[in-house]
Structure 1
Amino acid sequence: MDLFLEIARIVLPVVIVGGIALFVILRMKQKYKKGALGKKKTKSAQILLDSLIPFGMLLGLAVSILLSSFTNFSFLSAITWGPGIGMLFGYFAYEIFSKREESYL
């Protein structure tokens, strides 16, 4: 029984984060096929929009490493959970900012 719980504790984060990644990839693929990807008028705004998901993954990794160094959260689990949750937040940011109109200040 202990072996089963140990294997589940190791494999469960990978399965959950894999599901998050699969969700994001399939949603982006669906948006691409519909032609509904976010388009911005300026090149700099488009670059910012396109880099939200990778930036979210990097930020999630940094936050999770910091949390694992100050708490008893495992470092290897942090490497798994951080980019996965960051990818999900980056996708949500992409959805929000792709619908927002550009402001000309």
Structure 2
Amino acid sequence: MGLIMAIAPVVIVGGIVVYVIERLKHKYNQGNLGKKKSKGAQDLLNSLIPMGMLFGCAIGVIFGMFFSISLVFTVSLGAGIGYLFGFFAYEIYCNKGNTYS
């Protein structure tokens, strides 16, 4: 059981990272990577993925405190899931167009 708890976050988060990087690479190759007109809107767009990781880490710490799961497991899994949610927020904000910037 200990070996599974050690390898599972690496496999799950690794799959998430590969998915996000391949999607961003695909968008870059098509030439439609997110660009906003104002500097503030572009800064928000660029910080969505790292903020998702921070929130995921925080949620992982909270889960690690209340459940009998290893803190390293919950923080790493939380960061990976936050990375994915940050990417989804990035996608949604990119598709809103420049009218909100």
TM-score by length of 2: 0.91
1:61 is aligned to 2:66:
no
After superposition, the C-alpha distances for 1:17-62 in whole angstroms (9 at most, x for unaligned) are 1000111111111111111101111110011001100110011001
Pick the structure with greater CA Rg.
1
Alignment match, 1:88: 84
Aligned to 1:103: 100
Corresponding position of 2:43 = 47
Conservation of the 8 A alpha-carbon contact between 2:54 and 2:79: yes
Report the residue type matching 2:93 in the other structure.
F
Alpha-carbon distance in structure 1 between the residues aligned to 2:17 and 2:82:
10
RMSD over aligned CA atoms reads 1.4
Report SS of the residue matched to 1:51.
helix
Partner-residue secondary structure (3-state), 2:62: helix
Q: Percent identity?
A: 48
Between the aligned partners of 1:72 and 1:49, the Cα distance in structure 2 is 36
Any conservation in 1 of the 2:13–2:81 contact (CA below 8 Å)? yes
1:73 and 2:65 are equivalent in the alignment: no
Task: Report the secondary structure of 1:37's partner residue.
Answer: coil
The unaligned stretches of length 5 or more in structure 2 are none
The answer to whether residue 8 in structure 2 is matched with residue 7 in structure 1 is: no
**Runs of 4+ displaced beyond 3 Å:** none
